């Protein structure tokens, strides 16, 4: 993005904004797609759809989504499952100015929780 017309609305610097944007992206992936119907045959299609939808959001440089097929349990007479937080692994890289942030959403079994965390924060000052 050559010029960000929303920059004046944000406190902090590029690094702060990149961290904020990465959190927004992971939150939207989690809340939009958990519960989506899928089968083993359609899991790859859902991964690509989530990646494509996330990639069009502002400041996204890269996104990778993986669905754990081992946790996918099709049920009932129609043979499909719903995407659960235990199946979802997403990694998003956001770039704002000189700052680049990679954030992860993944289920952590020892916490029994779908954790969102910063994997890497590089460049950019924390204040404007």
- Write the pLDDT tens digit of every residue in 63-100: 999 999 999 999 899 999 999 999 999 999 999 999 99
8 occurs within a structural domain:
no
Residue 95 belongs to a domain with what CATH number? 3.30.1300.20
Q: Closest by alpha carbon to 23, among 110, 108, 104?
A: 104
User: What total number of domains does the chain contain?
Assistant: 1
1 occurs within a structural domain:
no
5 occurs within a structural domain:
no
The Cα 100–Cα 60 span in angstroms is 10
Question: Structure pTM?
Answer: 0.91
- Write the pLDDT tens digit of every residue in 23-63: 999 999 999 999 999 999 999 999 999 999 999 999 999 99
Q: Closest by alpha carbon to 51, among 81, 29, 36?
A: 29
The Cα 100–Cα 115 span in angstroms is 20
105 occurs within a structural domain:
yes
128 occurs within a structural domain:
no
Entry field: residues in the chain: 128
113 occurs within a structural domain:
yes
Q: What range defines the domain where residue 116 resides?
A: 13-122
């Amino acid at each position: 993005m050559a010029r960000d017309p929303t920059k004046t609305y944000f406190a902090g610097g590029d690094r702060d904004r990149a961290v904020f944007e990465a959190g927004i992206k992971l939150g939207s992936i989690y809340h939009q797609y958990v519960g989506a119907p899928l089968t083993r045959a359609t899991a790859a299609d859902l991964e690509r759809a989530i990646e494509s939808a996330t990639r069009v959001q502002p400041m996204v440089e890269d996104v990778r989504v993986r669905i754990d097929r081992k946790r996918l349990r099709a049920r009932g007479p129609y043979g499909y499952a719903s995407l659960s937080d235990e199946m979802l692994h997403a990694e998003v890289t956001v770039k704002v100015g000189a700052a680049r942030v990679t954030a992860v959403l993944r289920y952590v079994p020892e916490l029994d929780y779908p954790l969102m965390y910063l994997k890497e924060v590089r460049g950019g000052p924390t204040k404007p």
